Structure 1
Amino acid sequence: MKPYKILLYLISVFLVLSILSFVFPKEGIQINTNLFLRFPNIKTFLKTEESKYADISEILEYHQAEIMENISDLSIDTLKNLKDSVYNIADSLIAEMPTDTLAEEKNYNDITTAKQPGSVLQQLEYPEGNKNVLYPFFDHLRNLNQSGELIRILHYGDSQIEGDRISSYIRNELQKEFGGSGIGMFAPVIIKGTNISMDLKLNGSWERFTMHSIKNRNIFHNRLGALMSFGRFAPINSFDNKMFFGEINLHKSNITYAKTRKFKQCRVFYGYNEKPFIAELKYKENTLDAELIGTSKQLNTLKWDIDGSLDEITISFKGEDSPDVYAIALDDHSGIAVDNIPLRGSSGTDFTKTDLAFLRSMYQKINAKLIIMQFGVNLVPYAVDDYSYYEKQFYKQLKTLKGLRPDICILVIGVSDMSQNINGRLVSYSNVVKIRDAQKNAAFKAGCAFWDMYEAMGGKNSMPAWVNNKPPLARTDYTHFTWKGSVVISKMFYEALMKDYNEYLKNENINN
């Protein structure tokens, strides 16, 4: 083809596309319930408007010293090789929601005028300003020295807390203030691609069972326990008298807080084994203890006291049937334990689908006093106009969990800011505020405290500033914090919690 014909062809194609860009509906064309077709407007390519992000400079300035103090030995980013769970696992609430064909997020180097993260002193919020909703938990904190008990904080969340992010900082600060040690409870079989604040290795045919196992009818009961999962080293309903073996090796990690490495007891929460099994505690090649465990149809606890100087332990199981192993706990005998419980792909609405009587018994056995609920990022990419359905379902979870124990408190952490690419510009998803409001309304209706992470980050269009900060405080998926960023946001939350605790102490002293 001659050059002038090629030129004419290109010009004609450009003219056709230009005309189409003007006449194509701005809101797009809905193909079906799950698909929208949009066409870019030529005006968007001619704009030279500079992207304006939230000013978060004071945030980083305020917390910079804390970042350097806490991450000197915590340089591994747990999401380095982890894809965003938002795109990998569908949430049961959002499978039928329409998606945007242009919503795929990419790494754009937009100019940012944002301030540094950390300056927003975001306080806890309460239903009708009633701070008494956390006083039962504050009572336990104040009396820990006298009671000598071990109390637990369960931190539930989505992929935003995987790898012990956020939980680890809260745990370390609380244990420094109120006593305790160890990493708390964790599942024997953790989510693939993640880690905990210990080096964990499994040997044997371990299998993980979750809410998806119930939905897929891989199991025919709904006893998931406090971690919303359990593990087994033998198949369910094994009838061939074969001997099965499972081993959990735990080695102290050098990239965790010091108190995490000093635990004084190891407990295994298990139950519902049809045949006896042998459980052993080992240090390297030496067996420290061995027990023959009989059949069981209830939740039981196997406990060993641990020499804090041991740098590794191995828990070994052997038998013709496996119990359902609900959790391993590495704790102190007193003080505070904080459990990191990531539920990938979840929006926090599955608790009522489990065996609540069993969950109540486990909460009682582990002495749970505070539940932190941190969800939302899995909902954001699936925009709808009205989130009242989510508010109702989330409220149902909160109300149900509060009813399991008379003295349990719940604190909801709202959804973080998230960015999407709109015509080459990174902007906050328009539905983040709606989801945040639904979570807050549900929390207040259920009598729970609320902390607004979206506003703490700087509000609208704040996520790009966290990503573009030096060092980066969020990943280029514009969804998840880096480890450094998790330290910043965790410190902000912890300071808000302690501010209200100290105010509680002052009021108690005045009244007494």
Structure 2
Amino acid sequence: MNQNKNHKVVTLVLICFSVYLTASAMSLIFNVHWQPLDRVNLLSDLFVYKTEPSAKNTKASTQKIITEQSPEQDFQLYKKPEFITNFYKGDSICALPRLAAKIARLQKTKKGKIRIAYFGDSMIEGDLLTQTLRRLLQQELGGYGVGFVPITSNVNGFRQTVTCAASGWKDTNFMTSGAKNLYISGHIFTGNGTAQYRDNTIKNNDVSIRKSILFGKADNGSLTFNNQTISINGKEWVNSQMLSDDTSHTIKIHSNTASMPLYGVSFESENGVFLDNFSFRGITGVELAKINDEVFEAINQNTPYDLIVLQYGVNLLFRPNDKNYDYYAQRMVPVLARLKKDFPNTDFLLISSADRAFRYNGEMKTAVGMPNLIQTQAQLAFENGLAFYNQFESMGGENAIVKWAQQNPPLANKDYIHPNAKGGDVLAEKIFRAMMNDYKKYNPKTKNKK
């Protein structure tokens, strides 16, 4: 008899507990609240709560409870190779959510453009690395065209993705004393110059490509395009004017107004992914501080970028025994702050330095300051809300550049600094896979941490 009563008590307790647990869960899931239950909710300690004013009553006393899980951050994630991280733990955290949202939309509708600005030094000069990354992205997501091309360049004879023959231009750039009003490429071109371009990335001759000229403030300027004179006018710091939209992949221009500031030309199809190469030899990234906010803002207003990539570092390793890069971090912080302010809807990806070597005791080895530099760059990303990619570890870590230069066939030059074209392809493929793996984590129904 007593056993039967005990059984009934246990059953009753279990039933009450189940009802209580279910009510607690339903309260959180459907955001339905009853004050007595909220005070003793069985699941409340499993969630982080914040409050916001009720839509019906804005008084502070009337609140609705919102649950939000807060992922843990782990700075050590910067060491992981072939991986894009925003330092939040978890296999479902997308580090580049804005870019991922655009990719999802483009895949669904096949309409629209994704723009990527890829800044770097001589490691991407001549479109190395970026030419392969662009090709892989366009193969995966659509799009034709090399994107931005400067009016002229010191690597015209080296770059394979564009054929450019240019003469008669004055180049004012990052290295010019007192230079002002530079484009984000670090250049501005003036003079009665002539240039002819061919986009070599397009293999389909039936693809219609929009060719445009990019320029600064111009009043009653004149340009000869394919033997026709056209007027160039623009009141913005950055202006774009279409020259043609057809299946021709070659254009020729001549500036009839010597004072007119020109930046470059662009080749783009109607839809797809477009990656602009902004390489400048010998810089570290702090030079971007020389670009006016008005230039950044004009670009963001008219042709905004969905992703800005910053790949620098190798030029900080110019002395073999340097180990402290705090001075660099101090100078880069305001640059990153300006970029984030002027491109508020853009994802940012900081890519670390690749490996470089010096001779120590007669043997080529990774620079002794490399670990400190990579950690400094990761700290910049961590503290300023940028995603991070460890290129040093992705290419193999310590002494990778030595192995790359000495293997057969080689992947790097014997300067033990620069990957060659084959090495650039390898680096690009790794970055592409990391980007696609990050995109797979994107879930439009959840708020990915940024």
The within-5 A match list for 1:206-355 is 206-213=169-176, 216-217=177-178, 219=179, 222-233=180-191, 245-253=192-200, 256=201, 258=203, 264-273=209-218, 276-282=220-226, 287=227, 289-294=228-233, 296=235, 298-308=237-247, 310-319=248-257, 321-355=258-292
Closer/same/farther in 2, CA of residues 296 and 360 from structure 1, 3 Å limit? closer
Q: 2:234, 2:324 → 1: CA distance?
A: 50
* Pairwise CA distance, 1:427: 0.8
The answer (yes or no) to whether the contact 1:126–1:448 under 8 Å persists in 2 is: yes
Cα displacement (A) at 1:371? 0.5
Q: 2:124 aligns with which of 155, 161, 171?
A: 161
CA shift at 1:295, angstroms? 7.4
- Structure-2 residue corresponding to 1:135: 97
Superposition deviation, residue 428 in structure 1: 0.8
CA contact (8 A) 1:158 1:347 kept: yes
1:27-106 map, 5 Å: none
Check if 1:195 corresponds to 2:133: no
Contact kept in structure 1, 2:405 and 2:416, CA below 8 Å:
yes
For the aligned residue pairs, the C-alpha RMSD in angstroms reads 2.5
Count of aligned pairs: 363
Question: Contact 1:364–1:405 (CA<8 Å) still a contact in 2?
Answer: no
* Residues 1:377 and 2:314 are matched in the alignment: yes
- Equivalent in 100, 124, 130 of residue 84 of structure 2: 124
Question: Does structure 1 residue 362 correspond to structure 2 residue 299?
Answer: yes
Percent identity between matched residues is 24
Say whether the 8 Å CA contact 2:120–2:278 is kept in structure 1. yes
1:194 deviation in Å? 4.7
Counterpart residue number, 2:405: 467
Which residue of the partner structure matches residue 178 of structure 1?
141
Give deviations 1:63-112, integer Å, cap 9, x for gaps.
xxxxxxxxxxxxxxxxxxxxxxxxxxxxxxxxxxxxxxxxxxxxxxxxxx
Unaligned runs of 5+ in 1: 1-119, 234-244
Query: Is it true that 1:417 corresponds to 2:355 in the alignment?
Result: yes
Q: CA deviation at 1:133?
A: 4.5
1:122–1:151 Cα change, 3 Å: closer
- Which residue number corresponds to residue 446 of structure 1? 384
Q: Per the alignment, in what secondary structure is the counterpart of residue 185 of structure 2?
A: coil
Contact persistence 1:124–1:449 (CA under 8 A): yes
Structure 1 residues 346-399: Cα deviation after superposition (integer angstroms, max 9, x where no partner): 101122232112222123322211011110111112243421221222232222
Amino acid at match of 1:267: S
**1:191–1:350 Cα change, 3 Å:** same
Q: Is the 8 A contact 1:206 1:231 kept in 2?
A: yes
Cα distance between partner residues in 2 of 1:261 and 1:125: 40
Q: Tell me the distance in 2 between the aligned counterparts of 1:365 and 1:297.
A: 10
2:345 equivalent to 1:407: yes
Q: Unaligned 5+ residue runs, structure 2? A: 1-79
TM-score by length of 2: 0.75
Q: SS of the residue aligned with 2:339? A: helix
Equivalent residue, structure 2, for 1:393: 331
Report the TM-score when normalising by structure 1: 0.66
Structure 1, residues 424-465: CA drift from partner, whole Å, max 9, x if none? 211111011111111110011111111111111111112111
Give the whole-Å Cα distance in 2 for the aligned partners of 1:423 and 1:133: 42
